[in-house]
Structure 1
Amino acid sequence: MEYFDVGKVVNTHGLKGEVRVISITNLPEVRYQTGEPLTWFGEDGTSVELTVKSHRVHKSFDLLTFEGYSSINDVEHFVGGMLRVNEEQMIELPENEFFISDIIGSLVVEDTGEEVGKVKEVLETGANDVWVIQRQGKKDLLIPYIESVVLDVDVDDKRVTIHMMEGLDE
């Protein structure tokens, strides 16, 4: 079965079994609901099935507790490991929505057919996301994720078609 990263356990918090997590999910409110299953994977390949008991946000971290783990001694060994969900827990997204991880590495082509580069990362800026396109022999291109620029996203073929508006490539 395939697993997908949700967050990395970076430390314990307090004495009552809470762990500090740096999240890499865009759905923390879904993943960390009370009763949600998560699988912890250690760096040595071991894994433990867990059930979320509580979740709260503190500073830039998600703080979680798990059923059956009520003290710092129970959770210390989770530090450094990764919390994941299996493919059956993946959420079906509405049409024209996708996970950022699905588009990283996608080939970017202009609507003229010319190859631009590959999607290197997505910057979440508030108003609209900005996609960083890595190009051969040129500096990275930043494109806004808006309808007039990003015309088509083909997740299966890892291909993105854009319209190069005037002033984008300067």
Structure 2
Amino acid sequence: MNLSDTFYIGYVTKTRGLKGELQLFFEFEDYMDLDFDVLFLEVNKKLVPYFVDSIKLQKNSTAYLNLEDVDHIDKAQPLVKRKVYLPNDKMPERDPDDFRYTDLVGFLVIDEHEGELGEITNVQELPQQFIATVDFQGKELLFPLNEELILDIDMEEEIIEVELPEGLVDLYREV
């Protein structure tokens, strides 16, 4: 299995107990919709398959899992901090109308007053709101994603038009 045949879902954060149980942290948004019969862990730049004996999904983007043949903490410990992948055919289908702010990564940001700012490189979810990171003249420009600032989103052209608060872009120019 090659990396191109899989998609990234998260990583192993730690062991739990002495019987080889692992904690998995999900960086994949729809982790509750995934099918976990086999996981691929990245070991020495290769994907190694592990069959799942049991998994308990938690609401905080984590899961506790037991893998076949990993029945002791000594076997589980080398798997900590390993990236976890699933085959592409396990990717859950999303409704085309199901839009999320994280879908804006890669979109070009155009401000009404400042013009073209750059491409969105990351979208973070904070407790109160989503924050977009834009590659602006070699620096990271951050701004909140909310309906008051967004004027238009062109899904075809991958362009987002915004009206950022006065002076925000100037702060990043001066740094």
TM-score (normalised: structure 1): 0.72
Which has the larger helix fraction?
2
Counterpart for residue 39 of structure 1: 40
AA aligned opposite 1:6: I
For 1:88-99, what aligned pairs fall within 5 Å after superposition?
Answer: 88-94=89-95, 95-98=97-100
Residue 63 in structure 1 maps to residue 51 in structure 2: no
Residue 162 in structure 1 maps to residue 165 in structure 2: no
Q: After TM superposition, give the deviation of residue 149 of structure 1 in Å.
A: 0.6
Q: In the aligned structure 2, how far is the partner of 1:144 from the partner of 1:104?
A: 12
Q: Could you tell me whether the CA contact under 8 Å between 1:38 and 1:49 is conserved in 2?
A: yes
Greater shift, 53-62 or 4-13, is seen at 53-62
Q: Could you tell me whether the CA contact under 8 Å between 2:57 and 2:64 is conserved in 1?
A: yes
Equivalent residue pairs, number = 164
AA aligned opposite 2:17: G
Q: After TM superposition, give the deviation of residue 54 of structure 1 in Å.
A: 1.9
Counterpart for residue 6 of structure 2: 3
5+ long unaligned stretches in structure 2: 169-175
Root-mean-square deviation (CA, aligned residues, Å) is 3.5
AA aligned opposite 1:126: P
Greater shift, 67-76 or 88-97, is seen at 67-76
Find runs of 4+ consecutive structure 1 residues off by over 4 angstroms.
56-61, 110-113
Q: After TM superposition, give the deviation of residue 46 of structure 1 in Å.
A: 4.0
Distance 1:113 1:90, change over 3 A: farther
1:12 aligned residue (7, 11, 15): 15
Q: In the aligned structure 1, how far is the partner of 2:151 from the partner of 2:38?
A: 35
Counterpart for residue 85 of structure 1: 86
Q: Secondary structure at the match of 2:46?
A: coil
2:33 aligned residue (14, 30, 33): 30
Counterpart for residue 75 of structure 1: 76
Greater shift, 137-146 or 123-132, is seen at 137-146
AA aligned opposite 2:123: V
Q: After TM superposition, give the deviation of residue 124 of structure 1 in Å.
A: 0.9
Distance 1:116 1:84, change over 3 A: same
